[in-house]
């Protein structure tokens, strides 16, 4: 079997994260050798059931499955199979008990898992609420949110085998007394950066929301009712914060447990970091995705190829369970007792394009349901066949499984995962998401720009005769093609992007796949920047009505960690034209008066005390800042001065303070410190906070702190001039990938880049 065609982006990702390297960092493995290494290793599991086999008979099948890019397993399997680590799972859920021993056991277990490349999910619902009694010390509890900080800080220090970053899911039941504190715990962007958070909503709560009545709160330690809240008000607060910055999401915990295949073993409390894999405590799951863009032949779905890929993938994923090297004995025992696998899809948007079907059409919903129903049916049949040969999973109880099967090798067989990085390797669209953009500009070394376009759109543009470099660049800046008249109308309808689709269409597609998925579906519902809180509330209600197991939403530009912008704003203006006109304005910064007024604020940082002076002009607008770091010299002092000069230049050139705050806030270094009941992540973060506090103080939103009032005649040095373009980059560089400089896309609760970077690992 020849290797499928790998794109330049695929090769970049493989070289950076997957191919083996020698101790000097030199790549010593080709993509073909990677797939052969994984296939050979995973096929070894067949010997456990057939010791007489000399050579694994399915090695070639597994190799062909991956080399053709018809199917790829989750990243840890590609990275680690056949290598020393041999940790093959991506998804884990760990229990968090109510005692100090149990809580810190979970922190230690999390560290071991994340070090080996896994993501972890937690329910903090068992921890007693804030101010509840602690009998052993006669003190009071600090509550679950405070303990989440311990997990977050530990994750910050862990490097996942040098290849994956730490990622967590934090869940709290809606009937926990601290639910309101939990809902707003990520306010301000820089809190709990290593967590996605979701509220576990019960059926009782959702019914109370519809009826506008109260629901009860229970102390998890005693199970006693200790109060009540108005359900609609709590729901509105959840929706408000999701609208504000994307968190919290919501999972429908009772619905998840209705589909729990092993209720006799325990109740599901949490999911993995992206929310698509509900798991019991100490359970792990192995995921993989079929590339639907490879399943088209002569303009129709090749059902035979899809069925064959499904059967082989189930066999592959079941073998992974046996070949896995488990971090903890409890995880090995629970995983092998239930043998859950999660087979999903990627390339669904590309499939629709190849079939000529718009993503936001009834036909697309029909195709989504039909494809997933087929995969689920064939996957269950394949699992049953394995069970007849190898035995059902130890906790099997046919009466609890849908369809009342007489045998089943795996408690679950289907999951729709994000498939972010592996979809780049496969050269296809991510999961079941629509295309995010048809073209974008990638910034590379030495200031060069590379124009990259969706290959299907570019090929069709050339075929239809409207392709040009100028047009593709225009599309890259505008974000989509719906207002570009050079593109024929039928093609504009076919190539819709995530922001061309209504939030309701997003949810309906998620529901179409959820109907035929054992576990859950990872899907982001994209909202425009001008969406209202009520718009988000409607989608949450619709998701519950349509049978989804959870919702993740993201409103464009609602986080300082800005994702790829839409090109057309809410007034319909062409952003490209707007930026060109802006850049043509007078670029000379405002002149400085001899005397201006301001204030100096002292902030503790990991490098020492930083003194930030914020000065205003005669109209009360921010004009400049000066930074001085106490008892520090050399690089620290020079960097602090450089930040001050650039921020001053931006102020004087008309850049809004909020843009500068968003640019600097959240930048972290290796020595964060606690200050004013929060964390100062770096000197840059401290400067942002100083500016923000100055503005809040002007508006009367915070109390005035003891400060050094300044009325100092300052003369800016000639170095404070410089290029307006340098300060302009403070705005235009938002949303850049920290690894390659390309645009970030927000999907499934993660900021991701086409180079393979993801803040969720």
- pLDDT tens string 347-379: 999 999 999 999 999 999 999 999 999 999 999
| DSSP output for 124-171 | -TTSPPTT-EETTTTEE---HHHHHHHHHHHHHH--BTTTB---EEEE
Q: Taking residues 647-676, report their average pLDDT.
A: 83
Between 618 and 523, the more confident residue is 523
Angle, in degrees to the nearest 10, between helices 657-664 and 634-652: 150
Determine if the peptide bond prior to 248 is cis (ω within 30°). yes
The pLDDT score that the predictor gives to residue 234 is 98
Q: Which of 655, 603, 661 is nearest to 627 (CA)?
A: 603
Residue 570 is predicted with a pLDDT of: 31
Q: What is the pLDDT of residues 184-220, one digit of tens each?
A: 999 865 678 889 999 999 999 999 999 999 999 999 9
Question: Does residue 11 carry a pLDDT above 60?
Answer: yes
For residue 705, the SS3 value is coil
295, 375 Cβ separation under 8 angstroms = no
275-329 confidence digits (pLDDT tens): 999 999 999 999 999 999 999 999 999 999 999 999 999 999 999 999 999 999 9
- pLDDT of residue 582 exceeding 60: no
Provide the 3-class DSSP secondary structure of residue 737. coil
pLDDT-based confidence at residue 108 (cuts at 50, 70, 90): very high
Output the pLDDT for position 558.
Answer: 83
Question: What pLDDT band is residue 718 in, cutting at 50, 70 and 90?
Answer: very low
Domains of the chain: 8-85+283-426 (no CATH), 91-271 (3.20.70.20), 596-732 (no CATH)
Mean pLDDT of 654-674: 82
The residues annotated with a catalytic role in the active site are 272, 274, 276
Pick 608 or 586 by higher pLDDT: 608
At 732 the pLDDT is 33
| Cα–Cα distance measured from residue 497 to residue 438, given in angstroms and rounded to the nearest whole number | 8
DSSP-derived letter for residue 560 is S
> What is the pLDDT averaged over residues 154-182?
84
Predicted pLDDT of residue 569: 35
pLDDT reported for residue 734 = 38
Express as a percent the part of the chain with pLDDT over 90: 61
Write down the pLDDT at residue 572. 33
> Is the per-residue pLDDT at 720 higher than 60?
no
Taking all residues of the chain, what is their mean pLDDT, rounded to a whole number?
86
> What pLDDT is stored for residue 635 in this prediction?
75
Which residue spans within 202-334 are E strands per DSSP? 214-218, 225-230, 249-252, 270-271, 278-279, 283-291, 296-297, 300-301
Residue 727 has pLDDT above 50, yes or no: no
Question: pLDDT at position 739, please?
Answer: 59
- Asked whether the CA dihedral 352, 353, 355, 360 is positive or negative, the reply is positive
Q: What is the mean pLDDT of residues 216-229?
A: 96
The predicted structure's pLDDT at residue 733: 35
Residue that wins the pLDDT comparison between 729 and 81: 81
CA distance 638 to 629: 10
Which one has a higher pLDDT value, 336 or 193?
Answer: 336
Nearest 10 degrees: CA dihedral of 170, 174, 179, 182?
Answer: 20
């Amino acid at each position: 079997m020849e290797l499928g065609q790998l794109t330049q982006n695929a090769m970049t990702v493989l070289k950076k994260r997957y191919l083996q390297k020698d101790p000097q960092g030199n790549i010593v493995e080709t993509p073909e050798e990677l797939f052969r290494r994984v296939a050979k290793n995973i096929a070894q599991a067949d010997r456990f059931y057939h010791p007489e086999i000399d050579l694994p008979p399915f090695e070639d099948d597994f190799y062909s499955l991956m080399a053709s890019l018809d199917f790829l397993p989750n990243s840890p399997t590609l990275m680690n199979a056949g290598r020393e680590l041999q940790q093959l799972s991506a998804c884990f859920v760990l229990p968090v008990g109510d005692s100090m021993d149990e809580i810190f056991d979970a922190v230690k277990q999390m560290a071991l898992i994340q070090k080996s490349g896994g993501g972890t999910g937690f329910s903090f619902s068992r921890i007693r609420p804030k101010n509840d009694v602690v009998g052993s010390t006669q003190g009071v509890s600090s509550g679950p949110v405070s303990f989440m900080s311990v997990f977050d800080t530990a994750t910050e220090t862990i490097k996942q085998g040098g290849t994956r970053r730490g990622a967590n899911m934090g869940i709290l039941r809606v009937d926990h007394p601290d639910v309101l504190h939990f809902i707003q715990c990520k306010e301000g962007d820089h809190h709990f950066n290593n967590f996605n958070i979701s509220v576990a909503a019960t059926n009782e709560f959702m019914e109370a929301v519809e009826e506008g009545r109260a629901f009860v709160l229970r102390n998890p330690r005693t199970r006693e009712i200790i109060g009540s809240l108005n359900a609609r008000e709590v729901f509105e607060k959840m929706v408000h914060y999701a609208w504000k910055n994307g968190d919290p999401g919501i999972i429908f915990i009772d619905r998840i447990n209705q589909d729990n295949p092993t209720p006799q073993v325990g109740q599901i409390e949490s999911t993995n970091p992206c929310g698509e894999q509900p798991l019991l405590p100490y359970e792990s799951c192995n995921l993989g995705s079929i590339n639907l863009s490879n399943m088209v032949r002569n303009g129709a779905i090749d059902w035979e190829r899809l069925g064959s890929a499904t059967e082989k993938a189930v066999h592959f994923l079941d073998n992974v369970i046996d070949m896995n090297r488990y971090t903890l004995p409890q995880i090995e025992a629970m995983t092998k007792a239930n043998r859950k696998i999660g087979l999903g899809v990627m390339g669904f948007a590309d499939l629709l394009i190849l079939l000529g079907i718009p993503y936001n059409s009834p036909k697309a919903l029909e195709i989504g349901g039909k494809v997933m129903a087929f995969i689920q049916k064939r996957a269950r049949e394949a699992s049953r066949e394995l069970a007849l040969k190898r035995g059902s999973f130890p906790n099997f109880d046919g009466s609890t499984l849908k369809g009342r099967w007489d045998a089943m090798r795996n408690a679950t067989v289907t999951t729709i995962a994000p498939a972010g990085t592996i979809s780049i390797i496969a050269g296809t669209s991510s999961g079941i998401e629509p295309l995010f953009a048809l073209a974008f500009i990638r910034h590379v070394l030495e200031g060069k720009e590379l124009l990259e376009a969706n290959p299907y759109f570019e090929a069709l543009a050339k075929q239809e005769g409207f392709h040009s470099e100028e047009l593709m660049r225009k599309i890259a800046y505008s974000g989509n093609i719906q207002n570009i008249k050079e593109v024929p109308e039928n093609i504009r309808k076919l190539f819709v992007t995530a922001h061309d689709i209504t939030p309701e269409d997003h949810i309906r597609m998620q529901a179409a796949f959820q109907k035929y998925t054992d576990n859950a579906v990872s899907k982001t519902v994209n909202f425009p920047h001008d969406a209202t809180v009520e718009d988000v509330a409607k989608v949450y209600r619709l998701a519950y009505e349509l049978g989804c197991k959870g919702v993740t939403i993201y409103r464009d530009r609602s986080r300082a960690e800005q994702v790829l912008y839409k090109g057309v704003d809410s007034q319909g203006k062409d952003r490209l034209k707007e930026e060109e006109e802006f850049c043509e304005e007078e670029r000379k910064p405002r002149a400085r008066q001899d005397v201006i007024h301001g204030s100096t604020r002292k902030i503790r940082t990991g490098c020492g005390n930083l003194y930030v002076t914020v000065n205003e002009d005669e109209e009360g607008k921010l004009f400049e800042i000066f930074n001085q770091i106490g008892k520090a010299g050399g690089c620290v002092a020079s960097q602090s001065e450089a930040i001050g000069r650039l921020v001053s230049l931006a102020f004087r050139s008309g850049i809004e303070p909020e843009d500068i705050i968003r640019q600097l806030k959240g930048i972290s270094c290796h020595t964060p410190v606690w200050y004013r009941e929060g964390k100062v992540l770096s000197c840059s973060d401290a400067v942002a906070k100083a500016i923000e506090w100055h503005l809040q103080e002007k508006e009367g939103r915070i109390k005035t702190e003891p400060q050094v009032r300044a009325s100092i005649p300052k003369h800016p040095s000639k170095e404070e001039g410089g290029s307006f373009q340098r300060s302009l980059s403070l705005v235009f560089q938002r949303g850049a990938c920290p690894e390659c400089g390309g645009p970030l896309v927000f999907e499934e609760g993660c900021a991701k880049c086409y180079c393979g970077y993801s803040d969720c690992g």
